[in-house]
């Protein structure tokens, strides 16, 4: 229990169940400590906020489970199709040489990275599980460069609170800076010791193994740092925070 005192936490927790004025108190305290998810007040409301707050207080630095090589799934599900339109097949035909990952928003050095550049950075491999909210899952080995490395290269400004990420098929999602800096959050270009197949989001995918499958954006092509998610249309109809 770092900067927020146990008493404040208890107060916030009690207030959360104590009715409307209590919720306002809880919301104010939680807001000051970065404990309110941006979809607070939506259909997930207070329960969702308490889940997020509890996770952020108790498991801020925890890791998603990693597995042994023998546990890798023999037949992982590739869900969905490659992005529509002419651009993706054109980039693919060229072996994604023209492909770039853009990084912009609240950074000192906005720019973009080619696949060759990304592959030249320090790599991390991890065997983690993709868990879909629909009830299926698979385990695979993911290889890539930690998002934190890219963030350091870009120079994130201190006021940034979220990393919004965009995909070639139009999906958009976002994570907070705890997950953005987390060592297991990976800009992945490899899967099970080959290139990341297009069926699983190749050439590039964000792996966020501390959250459900839908937070792991396939066909990643842009990351934007921001201090608010107001006005950003996020894709998933599920809750914004999907910690597991």
Contacts with ligand MTE by CB under 6 A lie at 77-80, 130, 132, 167, 169, 171, 200-201, 213-214, 216-219
Stretch that binds Mo ion, among 18-26, 31-39, 105-113, 210-218 (CB under 5 A): 210-218
**Least CB distance to Mo ion at residue 198 (A):** 18
**Least CB distance to ligand MTE at residue 203 (A):** 13
| Binds Mo ion (CB under 5 A): choice among 25, 46, 132, 164 | 132
| Binds Mo ion (CB under 5 A): choice among 142, 214, 240, 241 | 214
Partner from ligand MTE, Mo ion, none binding residue 145, C-beta < 5-8 Å depending on class: none
CB–CB of 49/38 below 8 Å?
A: no
Does residue 236 interact with Mo ion by CB under 5 A?
no
Partner from ligand MTE, Mo ion, none binding residue 11, C-beta < 5-8 Å depending on class: none
**Is the Cβ of residue 154 or residue 191 nearer to Mo ion in the bound state?**
191
173 bridge partner residues: 165
Structure tokens at 39: 């979809």
Does residue 201 interact with Mo ion by CB under 5 A?
no
Q: How far apart are CA 152 and CA 212, in angstroms?
A: 25
Nearest residue to Mo ion, by Cβ distance, number only: 132
Q: How far apart are CA 218 and CA 204, in angstroms?
A: 7
**Is the Cβ of residue 98 or residue 134 nearer to Mo ion in the bound state?**
134
Structure tokens at 192: 């099970």
117: exposed, middle or buried (Cβ count in 10 Å: 0-12, 13-18, 19+): middle
Q: How far apart are CA 170 and CA 188, in angstroms?
A: 19
Name the percent of the chain in helix, strand, coil, to the closest 5. 30, 25, 45
| Binds Mo ion (CB under 5 A): choice among 38, 105, 201, 213 | 213
Which segments of the chain are extended strands (E)? 100-105, 111-114, 124-131, 137-146, 162-167, 172-176, 186-191, 194-195, 205-207, 220-226
**Least CB distance to Mo ion at residue 216 (A):** 9
Q: End-to-end CA distance of the chain, in Å?
A: 20
**Is the Cβ of residue 137 or residue 148 nearer to Mo ion in the bound state?**
137
**Is the Cβ of residue 155 or residue 197 nearer to ligand MTE in the bound state?**
197
**Least CB distance to Mo ion at residue 220 (A):** 16
User: Where on the chain is the footprint of Mo ion (CB under 5 A)?
Assistant: 132, 213-214
């Amino acid at each position: 229990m770092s900067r927020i005192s146990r008493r404040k936490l208890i107060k916030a927790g009690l207030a959360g169940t104590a009715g409307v004025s209590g919720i306002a108190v809880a919301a104010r305290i939680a807001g000051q400590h970065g404990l309110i998810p941006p979809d607070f007040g939506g259909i997930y409301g207070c329960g969702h906020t308490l889940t997020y707050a509890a996770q952020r207080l108790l498991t801020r630095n925890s890791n998603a489970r990693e597995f042994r090589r023998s546990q890798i799934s023999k037949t992982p599900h590739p869900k969905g199709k490659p992005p529509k339109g002419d651009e993706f097949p054109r980039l693919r035909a060229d072996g994604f040489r023209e492909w770039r990952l853009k990084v912009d928003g609240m950074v000192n050095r906005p720019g973009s990275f080619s696949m060759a550049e990304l592959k030249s950075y320090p790599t991390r491999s991890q065997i983690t599980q993709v868990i879909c909210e629909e009830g299926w899952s698979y385990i695979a080995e993911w290889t890539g460069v930690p998002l934190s490395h890219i963030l350091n290269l870009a120079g994130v400004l201190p006021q940034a609170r979220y990393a919004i990420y965009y995909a070639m098929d139009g999906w958009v999602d976002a994570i907070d800076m705890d997950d953005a800096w987390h060592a297991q959050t990976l800009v992945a270009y490899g899967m099970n010791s080959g290139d990341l197949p297009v069926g699983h989001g190749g050439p590039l995918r964000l792996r966020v193994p501390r959250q459900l499958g839908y937070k792991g954006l396939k066909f990643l092509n842009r990351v934007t740092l921001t201090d608010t998610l107001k006005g950003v249309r996020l894709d998933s109809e599920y809750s914004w925070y999907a910690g597991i």
